[in-house]
């Protein structure tokens, strides 16, 4: 460092260096977890599978989807293929059934013509034939004639295939688009619209989660489409067009992730029920079940192998078209977050883990609870965005990174804290009050016996710096520590000089005891405690003068003392013990210290202590108070100073006014308090009692009034 520049670049303390090193260590841990989340987790099959499964569960089934009752599925199932449950007479009565039984599957296409006649006669709106009519077959003429009768009400299925190449394309590995054969198209009317029946699985697993409503051959080859290239539409897209519904959302050439509808409301009827009179009457209710419906005809038999794995299970192809159709009708689409969002979420998760572990680096349990709560909150946010904003984030990988980074940082913090605590304990155990050290060295056995627990009379002292909390929050931390250490150093030296024991520090507060370790009698202990309090006030006045010259904030300190029995012993756990005092005497001393602020005095002592020091110090009555936690009042005094001369006339007049007040002579007391205030206008005790006198003159207290003031706060 250049000479003379020490103020510009101050040398950090050991604690500051340790804090900075811990900060860097935790950041490096979190950065390592970010790298794991970016590059390792996506390559793990179990993580990838769990991520997709969690996303599917979060999206779930769209139970609120409308229009599900407008779709009917006529299934070519095993019973329709075998017809073995029907009597021969039933089959012979229906030409369609007879043809189905005679030829077997694939059926004569006149069967589909008969089915269409039956369905449209029942009042159906639209029929989707999820069957590939790629080659001429028997019955094409009948089917073409029927299609000609119902223009714009039927959609045929086309197919992308790698099995057969398009004649116009030279390479066999390029997908070919197979349209329905010309022989099924109407001779005179417009051609029946056709839509491809294909669905493509997710690139990450063999599950269908998206529907590609429009595409081109080039796009299937992952190439940029030619503007003049033919755009092919899906089966469900053609249906939406014929229904006259909006297709704006569907005109994109990219796959759309959609919510699967609750298809429990979609009726499913076997294909043969169209031609069996009893089933037509009972199941289809004489065709009423088809009125104004969108009918999908397609295979559901396992032998036809038209099944797809989806987030809602393995379903037949026609039912998958029903889901895609309902998604388009209800605009039930959502967007999945991409790789950039995943990378950002992982980085953010590790950053949050870093902040939590740094904030609670000394409280591992709280850090762990915060991490779990944050993970739960994130999953809740993912769920909310998926259902309210149709945006699906990654729920698993960021959560794994959050918990992994948090657990690693917490474990590292715990290990570092254990190491530092072990080092600090060996140092801090040397810092005890001087008389405690002396007693340990000189009377080891007596002291150890006392640590087991003894009850004895002692004087307990409490002090507190007024407004220190707000001061410490607004001032520079190093200045706060420096000023507080200077104050505590002066106060502790006074306590030691008067043979007191510093029991503990409570931030800016001090608890000291006389008579717990070494006692020269109750009166001596009490006298030394009051002498120490007076000297501490004197030392504080000098400190305030010095701090004023430095431009620092001055301190106002309240002190409370009480004498009584308390228990002295070694309190704590197996890991850490400390000699201290407990009991009602300690509590009352603490309450009395709190009264100094209310009454505007710097020192408050109780009557038991006042009886021991009244011959040595000049005292002034404060009040008769029932403090919080006590059922009986206690007399409170303040110390005016050493009893070197007779009390002043002012003090005698004040004490006489107090006696009149407690004797219910409120007018005489009020007159005396007014005279006292005339001579000392800023005296708060006189002002308090004068206000009470005026209140009681206007409205006298009850007969059982004892002059006791009830304290409502500690």
pLDDT recorded at residue 12? 63
pLDDT recorded at residue 262? 82
Q: What is the mean pLDDT of each run of 10 residues along the chain (714 residues)?
A: 49 70 88 92 90 90 78 94 90 92 92 95 95 92 94 92 48 68 90 93 90 86 78 93 91 89 86 94 93 95 90 92 93 92 95 92 87 95 93 95 93 80 46 51 54 79 88 83 90 88 87 83 92 94 92 91 86 71 88 89 92 91 84 88 84 91 90 90 89 90 83 63
Residue labelled with tokens 């089934």: 61
Q: Running DSSP on this structure, what letter comes out for residue 452?
A: T
Kindly give the interhelix angle for 339-359 and 397-428, rounded to the nearest 10 degrees. 20
Q: How far apart, in whole angstroms, are the C-alpha atoms of residue 162 and residue 176?
A: 6
Question: Over 351-416, what HEC string results?
Answer: HHHHHHHHHCCCCHHHHHHHHHHHHHHHHHHHHHHHHHCCEECCCCHHHHHHHHHHHHHHHHHHHH
Longest alpha-carbon distance in the chain: 135
pLDDT recorded at residue 164? 46
Q: Running DSSP on this structure, what letter comes out for residue 62?
A: B
Q: How far apart, in whole angstroms, are the C-alpha atoms of residue 234 and residue 370?
A: 49
Residue labelled with tokens 């030829």: 103
Whole-angstrom Cα Rg for the chain: 46
Question: Over 55-113, what HEC string results?
Answer: HHHHHCCECCCCCHHHEEEEEECHHHHHCCCCCHHHHHHCHHHHHHHHHCCCCCCHHHH
Q: How far apart, in whole angstroms, are the C-alpha atoms of residue 496 and residue 512?
A: 10
Asked whether the beta carbons of 101 and 80 are under 8 A apart, the reply is no
Please give the backbone phi and psi of residue 37, each rounded to the nearest 5 degrees, phi first. -65, -35
Asked whether the beta carbons of 184 and 141 are under 8 A apart, the reply is no
Which of 130, 122, 150, 129 lies closest to 289 in space, CA to CA? Answer: 122
Q: How far apart, in whole angstroms, are the C-alpha atoms of residue 216 and residue 500?
A: 93
Asked whether the beta carbons of 290 and 122 are under 8 A apart, the reply is yes
For the record, the structure tokens of 75 come out as: 């299934």
For the record, the structure tokens of 241 come out as: 């067009």
Q: How far apart, in whole angstroms, are the C-alpha atoms of residue 420 and residue 84?
A: 83
pLDDT recorded at residue 117? 95
Q: How far apart, in whole angstroms, are the C-alpha atoms of residue 560 and residue 596?
A: 7
For the record, the structure tokens of 712 come out as: 């409502």
Q: How far apart, in whole angstroms, are the C-alpha atoms of residue 128 and residue 262?
A: 20
Q: How far apart, in whole angstroms, are the C-alpha atoms of residue 193 and residue 17?
A: 76
Which of 283, 320, 319, 285 lies closest to 75 in space, CA to CA? Answer: 319
pLDDT recorded at residue 5? 44
Asked whether the beta carbons of 170 and 189 are under 8 A apart, the reply is no
Which residues does 566 contact at the CB level (< 8 Å), separation at least 6?
A: 455, 456, 458, 460, 516, 581, 582, 583, 584, 585, 586
Q: How far apart, in whole angstroms, are the C-alpha atoms of residue 214 and residue 216?
A: 7
Residue 434 has a CB neighbour count (10 Å cut-off) of 15
List, in sequence order, every beta strand (DSSP E) within 466-508.
501-506
**pTM exceeds 0.75:** no
Strand order of the β-sheet with 391-392 is 210-211, 256-258, 333-336, 391-392
């Amino acid at each position: 460092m250049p000479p003379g520049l020490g103020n510009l670049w101050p040398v950090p303390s050991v604690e500051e260096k340790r804090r900075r090193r811990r900060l860097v260590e935790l950041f490096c841990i979190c950065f390592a977890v970010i790298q794991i989340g970016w590059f390792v987790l996506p390559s793990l099959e179990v993580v990838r599978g769990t991520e997709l499964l969690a996303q599917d569960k979060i999206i779930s089934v769209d139970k609120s989807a409308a229009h599900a009752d407008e779709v009917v599925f006529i299934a070519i199932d095993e019973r329709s293929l075998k017809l073995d449950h029907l009597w021969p007479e039933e089959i012979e009565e229906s030409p369609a059934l007879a043809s189905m039984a005679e030829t077997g599957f694939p059926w004569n296409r006149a069967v589909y013509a008969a089915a269409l006649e039956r369905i449209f006669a029942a009042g159906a709106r639209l029929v989707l034939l999820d069957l590939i009519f790629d080659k001429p077959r028997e019955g094409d003429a009948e089917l073409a004639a029927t299609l000609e009768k119902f223009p714009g009400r039927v959609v045929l299925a086309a197919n992308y295939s790698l099995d057969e190449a398009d004649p116009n394309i030279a390479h066999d590995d390029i997908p070919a688009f197979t349209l329905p054969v010309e022989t099924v198209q109407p001779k005179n009317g417009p051609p029946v619209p056709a839509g491809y029946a294909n669905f493509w699985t997710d690139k990450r697993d063999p599950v269908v989660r998206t529907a590609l409503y429009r595409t081109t051959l080039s796009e299937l080859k992952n190439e940029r489409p030619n503007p003049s290239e033919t755009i092919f539409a899906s089966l469900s897209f053609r249906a939406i067009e014929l229904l006259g519904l909006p297709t704006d959302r569907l005109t994109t050439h990219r796959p759309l992730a959609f919510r699967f509808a609750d298809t429990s409301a979609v009726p499913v009827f076997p294909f043969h029920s169209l031609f069996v009179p009893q089933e037509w009457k009972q199941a289809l209710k004489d065709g009423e079940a088809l009125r104004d419906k969108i009918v999908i005809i397609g295979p559901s038999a396992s032998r036809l192998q038209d099944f797809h794995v989806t987030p809602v299970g393995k379903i037949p192809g026609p039912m998958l078209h029903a889901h895609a159709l309902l998604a388009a009708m209800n605009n039930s689409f959502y967007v999945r977050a991409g790789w950039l969002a995943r990378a950002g979420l992982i980085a953010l998760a590790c950053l949050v883990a870093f902040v939590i572990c740094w904030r609670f680096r000394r409280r591992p349990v709280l850090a762990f609870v915060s991490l779990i709560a944050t993970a739960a909150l994130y999953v809740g946010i993912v769920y909310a965005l998926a259902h309210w904003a149709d945006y699906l984030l990654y729920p698993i990988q960021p959560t794994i990174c959050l918990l992994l980074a948090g657990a690693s940082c917490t474990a590292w913090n715990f290990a570092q804290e254990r190491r530092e605590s072990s080092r600090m304990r060996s140092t801090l155990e040397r810092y005890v009050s001087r008389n405690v050290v002396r007693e340990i060295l000189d009377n080891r056995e007596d002291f150890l016996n006392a640590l087991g627990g003894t009850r004895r009379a002692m004087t307990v002292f409490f002090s507190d710096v007024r407004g220190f909390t707000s001061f410490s929050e607004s001032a520079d931390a190093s200045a706060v520590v420096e000023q507080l250490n200077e104050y505590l150093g002066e106060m502790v030296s006074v306590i030691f000089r008067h043979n007191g024991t510093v029991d503990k520090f409570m931030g800016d507060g001090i608890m000291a005891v006389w008579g717990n370790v070494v006692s020269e009698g109750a009166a001596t202990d009490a006298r030394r405690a009051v002498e120490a309090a007076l000297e501490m006030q004197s030392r504080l006045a000098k400190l305030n003068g010095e701090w004023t010259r430095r431009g620092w904030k001055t301190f106002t300190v309240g002190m409370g003392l009480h004498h009584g029995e308390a228990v002295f012993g070694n309190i704590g756990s197996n890991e850490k013990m400390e000699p201290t005092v407990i009991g009602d005497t300690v509590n009352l001393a603490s309450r009395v210290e709190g009264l100094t602020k209310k009454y505007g005095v710097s020192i408050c002592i109780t009557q038991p202590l006042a009886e021991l020091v009244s011959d040595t110090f000049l005292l002034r009555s404060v009040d008769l108070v029932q403090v919080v936690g006590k059922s009986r009042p206690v007399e409170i005094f303040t110390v005016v100073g050493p009893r070197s001369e007779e009390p002043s006339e002012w003090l005698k007049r004040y004490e006489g006014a107090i006696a009149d007040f407690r004797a219910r002579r409120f007018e005489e007391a009020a007159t005396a308090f007014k005279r006292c205030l005339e001579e000392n206008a800023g005296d708060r005790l006189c002002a308090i009692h004068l206000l009470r006198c005026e209140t009681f003159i206007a409205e006298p207290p009850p007969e059982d009034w004892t002059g006791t003031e009830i304290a409502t706060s500690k």
